[in-house]
Structure 1
Amino acid sequence: MKKIAVSCSLLILLMMAGCSQANSDDGYTAGELRAVNHVEGQGINGFSVNGYHVPGLGGGYCCIMLPEKWTPDFKVRVDWEVDPHTAPSPPSYKDWDNYLVWEKQLKSSFKQHNAIVNIPQYGKERCGLTVHFLPCNKVKVTTACSGYGTSGYPIKETINMKEPATCPVK
């Protein structure tokens, strides 16, 4: 019983330390991952930045490590899964066989995307990383501490943007 209590205590300590500021000797600090979906009618099921996974778009999620000093070649890889909302409405749970068919159809409609994105220049003040999902599977990121929609926020695209009929070829 004592081993279980010690193990649980260590696990909780490690989880709490995960989002604390990293040792400045390491040259990195931890910050939250956040996201804003700008595309009308498109659900983001989850995303990751350099392997740091966030299971949805809710509030801040712990954590991503950012270097203390920005460099011009600093880029991140963003992977995300989109629900285009093309699956039909689900059948009743009481009709389990049809529900399983529907669930398979739903999951097969999800689309996987990724992008390599430049991190804009930052100084001492940075507040994690916010990923903005835009039409045509474009992504912008910022480390700004001000909130989306405030005057000092660097990303100005509006919410509920419509996906165009055709997107430019990459």
Structure 2
Amino acid sequence: MSHSLTASASSKGIRWILVLVSLMLLSACKGAPSKMLAAPVTGYNHTSAAINRFTVNDAGGPNLGPHQGGGKQSCCGVVPREWTPGLRAIVEWEKDPDPGGYIKRDQYGQLDAQDYKRHAANYSRHKVTVEIPQYDVPGNLKVHFLPCNQVRVSVDNVKPGDPRYPYNFPMNMPEPKVCPD
């Protein structure tokens, strides 16, 4: 009988220790909220070129056909929970100026490697650093590709088309013959 009382007391002691350890671990997790948040990446291409690939602060975005965007998202970039003055984004992209250009195919429908190399030789690669406008509530990383290799990025929780959105550009923007430097 004394053996079972000792075992019972011992298991109660172990349970109390486990409860205390669990409470300490939970209280350690209740620290301040993270300063950074994960954010899906969305792109908008306002040009006649194709955006083959792009990154914003090293987070990859979806490829974009001419005058397309907003439908696909990639996961994930990182954005500050709170906006600070001078907040910037680094955007890198590859552009195909002739997305409808013909590329030979073999009898099985596979791209001809040499003809693809000819086409891809016209791709251009770009990199810019842009300011991110002030936001109150963080949202998706939204990247707008504009004529003349101009880029705009927003992080707000407002969708394009809303009057509060900072970049309500038409999807089919006219492209100048000569771009300013």
* TM-score normalized by the length of structure 2: 0.72
Partner of 1:163: 175
Answer yes or no: is the 8 Å Cα contact 1:87–1:105 preserved in 2.
no
Q: 1:157 to 1:26 in 2, by over 3 A?
A: same
**Which consecutive residues of structure 1, in runs of 5 or more, have no partner in the other structure?**
1-22
What corresponds to 1:149 in structure 2? Answer: 161
TM-superposed CA distance for 1:145, in Å, is 2.2
Shift of the alpha carbon at 1:86?
Answer: 6.9
Equivalences for residues 63-102 of structure 1 within 5 A: 63-85=76-98, 88-94=101-107, 99-102=112-115
**Structure 2 residue identity aligned to 1:166:** V
Q: 2:51 aligns with which of 36, 44, 51?
A: 44
Which runs of 5 or more residues in structure 2 are unaligned? 1-30, 65-70
Q: Deviation per CA, 1:17-52, whole angstroms, max 9, x where unpaired? A: xxxxxx96441111111011111x211111001111
Contact 2:56 2:91 (8 Å CA) reproduced:
yes
* Equivalenced residues, count: 145
Distance 2:108 2:117 in 1: 15
From 35, 39, 42, the equivalent of 1:34 is: 42
Deviations 1:58-100 (A, max 9, x none): 5121111111222112111000111101784122322999912
Instruction: State the one-letter code of the partner of 2:43.
Output: A
| Structure 1 position 111, deviation (Å) | 0.7
CA distance in 2, matches of 1:62, 1:97: 30
Q: Name the counterpart of 2:141.
A: 129
TM-score normalised by the chain length of structure 1: 0.76
Alpha-carbon deviation of 1:147?
2.1
What's the C-alpha RMSD, in Å, of the aligned pairs? 2.3
1:107-126 CA distance string (max 9 Å, x none): 21111011101111112x12
Q: Distance in 2 between matches of 1:88 and 1:59?
A: 24
For the residues of structure 1 that align with 2:132 and 2:60, how far apart are their CA atoms? 18
Secondary structure of 1:143's partner?
Answer: strand
Instruction: Report sequence identity in percent.
Output: 33
**Partner AA of 2:138 in structure 1:** R
Q: What does the per-residue CA deviation read over 1:127-167, in whole Å, with 9 as the maximum and x for residues that have no partner?
A: 12100001110011112323222333221221111221111
| 8 Å contact kept, 2:55–2:91 | yes
Tell me the amino acid that sits aligned with residue 82 of structure 2: K
2:119 maps to amino acid: L
Q: Tell me what 2:5 maps to.
A: none
